[in-house]
Amino acid sequence: MINRSLDDEIVRYRIPVNVAYGTDPNTIRDVLLQVAGSKPYVLSEPPPVVIFEEFGDSAMKFFLWVWTREMSHKPMVLRSELNFAINEAFTEHGIRIPFPQLDVHVKQPIS
């Protein structure tokens, strides 16, 4: 049996993106869609989608959904290419990617 439809398979990828509080969510959406639209392997139909998932402990959490045919068998390459492009675009727009921070308060012993 030969599966002739395999070459025409459309695959969706979900790219998680965390962004620092204080950043305009509309700017995030615009930048992510611009990045996705600049990649020839990302399909325009169905169009890329940006999902604002939640307000996390230290970041606003988004997902970039893209669909592809060309890179369907190279998931890590696709993710890596998009992550490089997202990082570059965020740097150009002054958008920060946060990291968790923990403040420790040390009490002085009673003397």
Q: Is 51:43 a contact under the CB 8 Å cutoff? A: no
**Can you list the domains of the chain with their CATH numbers?**
8-93 (3.30.70.100)
What does the mean pLDDT of the chain come to?
A: 90
Q: What is the pLDDT of residue 101?
A: 73
Residues 48, 63: Cα–Cα separation, whole Å: 10
Residues in the chain predicted with pLDDT less than 50, given as ranges, are 2-5
Q: What is the pLDDT of residue 4?
A: 43
Q: What is the pLDDT of residue 107?
A: 82
The secondary structure element, H or E, covering residue 73 is none
pTM of full prediction above 0.85:
no
